[in-house]
Amino acid sequence: MTVTAPPVPQMPPPTQPRGRLQRFLRDEAWTGALVLLFAGLLFWQSTQVRAWGSFELQTLATSTLPLVFIALAQGVVVIAGGIDLSVGAQMVLFNCVAASLMEGAGFGSSLALAALTLVLGAVVGVLTGWIITVSGVPDIIVTLATSFIWLGLALWIMPQPGGGANPSFQEMFVGSGTAYWPALLCIAVPLLVVWVPLRRSRIGLSIYALGSDPQAAFLAGVSAPRARMTAYALAGMFTALAGLATTAYTGGGQASIAVANTATLGSVAAVVLGGIALTGGVGGLIGPVLAVWCLFLIPANLLSFGVDPSYGEVVRGVVIVLVVLSGSLLRRKWSKA
């Protein structure tokens, strides 16, 4: 007697958004929420300042410029499935290198030295990615170790605060008077010239594939060493930009361990708030930029109400925790859809 197995119930196919608009809303929902949060915080600030205008915008753009570049550097590495605890130390190193070399230099020489600093940043990034690839040691351990090396080199180059920067070079980053567009342009140019084309290229897709699923990326023919070293090279260039922005903003250099640690923690917070999954393969670089501005505005707005700055940091931490929880629940819901 033949026993017939009961039919296996067929699961309905997952529902996918229909139309370009729905797909766009699904893919960019996090960025859209950040835009609304940033707009709300900016409107809140405008109601607390009597003559709110270009000065406040310049303060926002120039004060956060180094941290924006650090967040971009961390974002690229996290998208590739890693994490870089040395971004703050690299920023301090490149700040000391640029400030020591640019002291007394003209505008043309300063531009040449800035280009050299960017190349040095890419070399440092490639070296970091190469060490991780060859050793097989996790990113978090390698970058933690290299952070001490970069800070040691910064202290060797500049034991005491000093150095300088050309005034015209400074204006290129932070502008003059109440002009805020130079700082915004410094953010937009690397994103449009470097990141947008790279993201659409084969190597950019390889970076996302490596962060999403390394095994599947390998089976698909993705070169993991190449993708990882490219991600770290781009991150190194962003940290070099952060060092140059710090030199332009402060007019000098300082090998500060506290600044390095604060920048590293801030970059991780901006990446998380910016919608980049710490597991890798998800997110973009617009979110971290908006996240840096939001994290800057939260304590500043509370300060306008006379709230102690320490409580502002508590509120900022609570916001990050709530965003992480909400994002985790939303992604879990989408994965079950």
* Residues 98 and 261: beta-carbon distance below 8 Å: no
Q: What is the pLDDT of residues 123-182, one digit of tens each?
A: 999 999 999 999 999 999 999 999 999 999 999 999 999 999 999 999 999 887 778 888
Mean pLDDT in residue range 41-59: 84
Backbone angles phi, psi at 253, to 5 degrees: -135, 155
**Distance, CA of 108 to CA of 284 (rounded, Å):** 34
With residue 36 as reference, give the H or E element that holds it.
helix 29-48
pTM: 0.88
pLDDT confidence of 28, banded at 50, 70, 90?
low
* Residues 272 and 320: beta-carbon distance below 8 Å: yes
* Residues 287 and 30: beta-carbon distance below 8 Å: yes
pLDDT confidence of 11, banded at 50, 70, 90?
very low
CA dihedral over 165, 170, 174, 176, signed as positive or negative: positive
**Distance, CA of 65 to CA of 53 (rounded, Å):** 19
Q: For position 221, what pLDDT does the model report? A: 84
Query: How buried is 263 (Cβ within 10 angstroms: 0-12 exposed, 13-18 middle, 19+ buried)?
Result: buried
Q: What is the pLDDT of residues 228-245, one digit of tens each?
A: 999 999 999 999 999 999
What domains are there in the chain, each with its CATH number? 58-336 (1.10.3470)
